Amino acid sequence: MSDCIFCKIIKGDIPANKVYEDQDMVAFHDAFPAAETHVLVVPKKHIDSLNHLQEEDAELIAKISLAIPKLAETLGLEGYKTLVNTGKAGGQSVFHLHYHILGGKFLKKDALQNT
């Protein structure tokens, strides 16, 4: 999608601090971190949200689920939270599906809550 900020990051049109990339997904540090480590895992395919997943996306989502623990290990996280906000009422602000990985101390008390 041309006006999607994460599609622009995937295309390299706007910079991001990438920590992982393969044919299916990219992971980069959140520009406004809510925790000491705050990485977003983003499928390269534009999918608006979890609500927009199709059956054909099952393998992609499995790959992301399998990549997250490996990525967390690379980031040196002993434990972490994984979060997906869905819909405006669910706190989603970027409408390209993404998984938050949050590790270490939280920096914002109200971070990632619904507004």
Q: Which residues are catalytic?
A: 98
Q: Where are the alpha helices (DSSP H) in the chain?
A: 5-11, 58-74
Select the residue interacting with Zn ion from 1, 31, 58, 66 (CB under 5 A): 1
CB 78, CB 104: distance < 8 Å: no
Verify binding: residue 4, Zn ion, rule CB under 5 A. yes
Which pair of tokens denotes residue 114? 């619904």
Question: Which CB, 32 or 79, lies closer to ligand 5GP?
Answer: 32
User: What are the residues facing 100 on neighbouring strands?
Assistant: 40, 83
- In the bound complex, which residue of the shown chain has the CB atom lying closest to Zn ion? 4
Q: How many residues bind Zn ion (CB under 5 A)?
A: 6
Distance CA 34, CA 54 (A): 30
Question: Which CB, 37 or 92, lies closer to ligand 5GP?
Answer: 92
Partner that binds at residue 46, options Zn ion, ligand 5GP, none, CB closer than 5 to 8 Å by kind? Zn ion
Distance CA 93, CA 15 (A): 19
Which pair of tokens denotes residue 104? 């270490």
Question: Which CB, 77 or 98, lies closer to ligand 5GP?
Answer: 98
- What are the residues binding Zn ion (CB under 5 A)? 1, 4, 6-7, 46, 96
